[in-house]
Structure 1
Amino acid sequence: MNRAALAAANADLDQRERGRKLRIGFFVFMALLMQLAFVVSYTGALHAPQPPHRMPVGVVAPPQVVQQLQKMADESGPLFTFKPQASPETAANAIHHRSVLGAYLPAAVGTTDQLLVTTAIGPAAPQALTLAFTRAAQSQQHTLQVKDVLPPHRGDDEGLVPFYLVIAWTVGGYLASTLVGLMGGMQSATPRLALERIGMLAAYSVLGGIGGTLIVHTIMGFLGGAWWTQALIGMLVVFCVSVFANGLQTFLGLVGTGIVIGLFVILGNPSGAGPWPRNMLPAFWRVIGPWLPNFQGTNAVRGVAYFHSQGLGTAIWVFVAYAAIGLVLSVAGAGRDNPILRMSEH
């Protein structure tokens, strides 16, 4: 090889090495940004429960009394939304169907008010309700008696088992898609191969949903409720996350993986209403939560376990929407070339 050819080969090698270093630098920088976003999101959302925001509370009292209580409460901010209840039994039923998170029964006779709560959603909401209505009772020289009408299942004392179960399903979903992409290429070569990959992710989702429910519901005995319904929720969570991740990775490669982690881990977990209910999250996470599978999965599992499957229908629609978007992106992007995908794979 003559000197000119050798110099050209060395220049080409140097150029490729510079390109490789730039790509590595880009992804390291993106990892740093995600790490910082992780800190902001988790500490911002979960550093402490916020004061309740329009927390629905039943009140067993005449409508005019409820209106007066609402007016007095609103002077301290939008803490509670009071809903009249006809009787203590009606109020307890409303808690069981999660239309309210507690119920206040001011004494018609005597000086002992009553507060009905459920610790199945964790201790934060009952504690906030107890504090607020203890003060309300004391202002009338009354005492407050607290009754837990719907306690958690054994092993779920903090109400966090549904939350952590959905985290496992979510992580499993995008992890499966990412590993398949790393081994077989982020992008399928043809629409038919894209559908085959989605079929493989569907089989994985069935196993993941059944496996998670088997461990938490049957082996550990941490949750009650309809076994197959909870397994179905798990299948849908894993499937919608994995297919959505596959769709983004089809167009964006590892950049798509980063977006998925940002959406489902950095934003999704803190807004998933795990340690405390949505009404006690900061505004940003309270707003985005219902749009993400994390919140809807936790809400659905908790609903099946404790609240007569309340919230299941809405959750299924969210899961279907994410799966449909992922399916369209996966098929439409099969075999298509773009610079972002090339940068992440070479």
Structure 2
Amino acid sequence: MSANTPQISPEEAVRRVAQAREALVGEVHKVIIGQDEMIEQMLICLFARGHCLTIGVPGLAKTLTVSTLARALHLKFTRIQFTPDLMPSDITGTEIIDQDPASGQRSFRFVHGPVFSNILLADEINRTPPKTQAALLQAMQEHEVTIAGTTYPLTPPFFVMATQNPIEQEGTYPLPEAQLDRFMFSINIGYPTRAEEREIVMATTQTAKPEIRPVLHGKDVLWAQQLVRQVPASRHVVDYAVDLARATRPKEPPSPDFVKKWLAWGAGPRAAQYMVMGAKARAIINGRFAVSADDVRAMAYPVLRHRLFTNFNADAEGIDVDQVIEKILETVREPSYGESLPPTSAQNERKQSGAASQVAPPVPPPPPRG
């Protein structure tokens, strides 16, 4: 960014992101009734440059929600229906032989697959073999794909939402751990309340079809993603996220006894990274330019849920992953501000944070509308 680029205050930037979030949620709720937690977590994931795995029985509007969100964001949306015979090239694309009708000369031409979009829905991702599931690994982590030795970048923003049915096991393939770790969130979707279900029936049995108005564009999303990374997180908040992640590892000394008893293995370093990034995004869409421990706690369930694996002891006692996370949150104490710093640097950081609170750093302005 050049020195002449106009800048706005963090307060103004946060206000604009919060307004954009309200507008997006309003558009999505024209079609989707209820599911507030799922919608908020999807927006957090999008603004934090993550990907999400949604788990729920059929009919809970998983597919409809992401397609509606894509329309409200004015982004390119593609859907892949994962099936047992799906091939990696059906996702990433392939090279075909082209012949020039004039000269008769043949050459290879790359045909882009559905992964070349902004929002990609991987519907029922566990119905395809691991070889095909792995075709998304590079795209999700590096935002590019390599075909026949040539690397093709994906157009940002790039957001993958995968769906999975938890009750069907026949004809499915469990996601590999490497694939699961690429997802920032695992979102469990429950049934609607009675009032919501009644409203769903009323809305879907009439002729009226709501019109979705695009309220954000790709450049707006990229600006929000850049802004999220500039949200300050104090050291004690980061330490809290690290302590939560380390407490899930049964072979690590800090882990509680119940973790050693119930978990086969725990979360890797990505868990702490995603908890902090998710906490930053949650803070900013709720109108705050600072992260609190409450934001980290709110991110613990969706970030850790698919990274912890219970053992036979937990299965025998009827303990699920969410119950383990609940006990970890009860056990791991939030570090105080001074505890997170060496004694000599605690005073210096307090002075620096005090000065920073008086003069907040400027942030880049949102892109102009054209």
**Shared fold per TM-score greater than 0.5:** no
Relative to total residues, which structure has the larger strand share, 1 or 2?
A: 2
- Band of TM-score, shorter chain: under 0.3
Larger Rg: 1
Which structure shows the higher helix fraction? 1
Higher relative contact order (CA 8 A, sep 6+): 2
